């Protein structure tokens, strides 16, 4: 099924995904050249790279036409290899061809990591052997050979560009709102990339689709698998929906199953939707959701995702650095009934902020803006609320703490990418945490 023995393989990019792909291919008898256009000292953790892998740094990528297979890292745009490559498989395609366990795959603009980790926790609580991997940090290829009942994969639009036969037993699409339009030609191209998660499903597979999202719901028409919809706003049968603080799961010919969310530790309305999707996926995979539901009482917000950092002098400081697009920031803001002092800004991904600015007007008392997009955001927000600018995340936290009043929430939810000032959203969130904790000097919780 894999067939790469004695093949010449070109791996583009030597981040975590690229390193895992290079090691995977060399271990299966391929001849591998791994190329990174960054200098060697910028590529990180190269000690984990198999010494048999040939490598090149700091120069343009080799001609893809000279290789039997090109394995691009997700961050490498298709125009860098597509026209010349004989065959292209990303790490998800390689993993699919090698993992024996059923795959539950999750994509969407927002909520992917939380939902994937929820599915993993729910499956484990039900007694199944499950591991989560993919776009959330652990490369999917690390699951190859592991004793698993289920592999749970978070998959980005970039990764879906490089699948060929990938066929998840359960495919989940959480939502599709504008994102990565600096990479995809337009919203339709972005939607088409997301829809590739359904392309190879068969009648025995299941597509778990968010019918509250009109773009996702429209994909049901061409789905080959069984469609199992979920809705948070109204009942659906068959499917899953929220009702009076519970998730209700319905299948034809079976009694509805009601799972109470009273013990749910996760905060935010959007996380109830993530729980809804996760339970729907577990149910679609044939696992008893009642046995799985015990995981809900202990599952907490993931780092940098609406994470409570501190409460200082009656003000809560919340780190939602992972909100790298306007849709994610809207979900975050809508989850708070308190007045918000909002820290936003960063690198714009060619996304519009108008709808976000309109929502912010009813939730935000003051905004503190950082990064390259600050002028664009200020132009939209200044007529709706107090707006301040800060040169750094540390200065933003200081200013927000001066503006905050008893009962307020200081929320980092940038609506932008981080690479103008930070390595990634993790570094941005960690810097926010550190700045907040410095405020504790002389303060009481």
Task: Say what the pLDDT of residue 44 is.
Answer: 52
Query: Which tens digit of pLDDT belongs to each residue from 329-372?
Result: 998 999 899 999 999 999 998 889 999 999 999 999 999 999 99
Task: Say what the pLDDT of residue 443 is.
Answer: 46
Task: Say what the pLDDT of residue 41 is.
Answer: 60
Tell me how far apart the alpha carbons of residues 334 and 330 are, in angstroms, rounded to a whole number.
6
401 CB-near residues (< 8 Å, 6+ apart)? 312, 315, 410, 439
Q: What are phi and psi of 10, to 5 degrees?
A: -110, 120
Name the 3-class secondary structure at 378.
helix
Name the 3-class secondary structure at 411.
strand
Q: What are phi and psi of 418, to 5 degrees?
A: -105, -10
Q: What is the DSSP string of 67-113?
A: SSEEEE-TTS-GGGTTTT-S-B--HHHHHHTT--S-EEEEE-SSSHH
Name the 3-class secondary structure at 341.
strand
Give the domain ranges of the chain. 8-88, 93-297, 307-438
Tell me how far apart the alpha carbons of residues 344 and 387 are, in angstroms, rounded to a whole number.
11
Angle 330-187-12 from CA coordinates, rounded to 5°: 100
Class of domain 307-438: alpha beta
Q: Extract the tokens encoding 436.
A: 């907040």
Active site residues: 112, 135, 180
Buried b (16+ CB within 10 A) or exposed e, 105-131: bbbbbbbbbbbbbbbbbbbbbbebebb
One fold for 8-88 and 307-438? no
Selected from 3.40.1190.10, 3.40.50.2000, 1.10.10.10, 3.40.50.300, the CATH number assigned to the domain covering 93-297 reads: 3.40.1190.10
Task: Say what the pLDDT of residue 39 is.
Answer: 85
Q: Extract the tokens encoding 288.
A: 């008893």
Helix 425-438 crosses helix 393-403 at what angle (to 10 degrees)? 50
Task: Say what the pLDDT of residue 445 is.
Answer: 40
**Low pLDDT (below 50) residues in the chain:** 43, 443-445
Which helix H or strand E contains 31, and what residues bound it? strand 31-36
Q: Extract the tokens encoding 213.
A: 């999202």
Q: 178 and 187 in contact (C-beta within 8 Å)? A: yes
Residue among 313, 273, 266 at smallest CA distance from 109: 273
CATH no., domain 8-88: 3.40.50.720
């Amino acid at each position: 099924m894999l067939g790469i023995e004695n093949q010449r393989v070109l791996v583009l990019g030597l981040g975590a995904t690229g390193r895992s792909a290079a090691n995977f291919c060399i271990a299966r008898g391929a001849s591998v050249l791994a190329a990174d256009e960054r200098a060697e000292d910028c590529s990180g953790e190269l000690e984990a790279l198999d010494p048999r892998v040939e490598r090149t740094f700091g120069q343009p990528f080799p001609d893809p036409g000279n290789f039997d297979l090109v394995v691009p890292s997700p961050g490498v745009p298709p125009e860098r290899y597509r026209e010349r490559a004989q065959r292209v498989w990303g790490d998800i395609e390689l993993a699919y061809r090698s993992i024996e366990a059923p795959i539950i795959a999750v994509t969407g603009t927002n909520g992917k990591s939380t939902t994937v980790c929820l599915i993993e926790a729910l499956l484990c609580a039900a007694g199944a052997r499950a591991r989560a991997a993919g776009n959330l940090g652990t490369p999917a290829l690390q699951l190859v050979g592991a004793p698993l009942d289920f592999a749970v994969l978070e998959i980005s639009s970039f990764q879906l560009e490089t699948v060929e036969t990938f066929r998840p037993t359960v495919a989940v699409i959480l939502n599709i709102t504008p994102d990565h339009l600096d990479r995809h030609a337009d919203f339709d191209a972005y939607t088409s990339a997301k829809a590739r998660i359904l392309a190879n499903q068969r009648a025995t597979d299941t597509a778990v689709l968010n019918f509250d999202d009109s773009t996702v719901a429209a994909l049901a028409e061409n789905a080959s698998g069984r469609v199992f919809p979920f809705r948070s706003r109204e009942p659906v049968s068959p499917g899953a929906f929220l009702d009076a603080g519970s998730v209700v799961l319905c299948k034809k010919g079976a009694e509805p199953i009601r799972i109470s969310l009273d013990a749910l530790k996760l905060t935010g309305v959007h996380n109830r939707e993530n729980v809804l999707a996760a339970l729907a996926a577990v149910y679609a995979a044939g696992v008893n959701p009642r046995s799985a539901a015990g995981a809900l009482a202990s599952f907490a917000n993931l780092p940098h995702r609406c994470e409570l950092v501190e409460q200082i002098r009656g003000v809560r400081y919340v780190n939602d650095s992972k909100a790298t697009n306007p849709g994610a920031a809207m979900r975050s803001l809508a989850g708070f009934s308190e007045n918000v002092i909002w820290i936003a800004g960063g690198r714009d991904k060619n996304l519009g902020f108008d709808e976000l600015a309109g929502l912010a007007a009813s939730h935000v008392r003051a905004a503190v803006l950082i990064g390259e997009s600050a002028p664009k955001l200020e132009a939209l927000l200044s007529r709706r609320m107090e707006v301040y600018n800060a040169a750094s995340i540390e200065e933003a936290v200081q200013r927000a703490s001066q503006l905050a009043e008893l009962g307020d929430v200081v929320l980092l939810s940038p609506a932008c990418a981080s690479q103008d000032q930070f390595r990634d959203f993790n570094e941005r969130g960690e810097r926010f945490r550190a700045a907040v904790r410095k405020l504790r000097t002389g303060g009481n919780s």
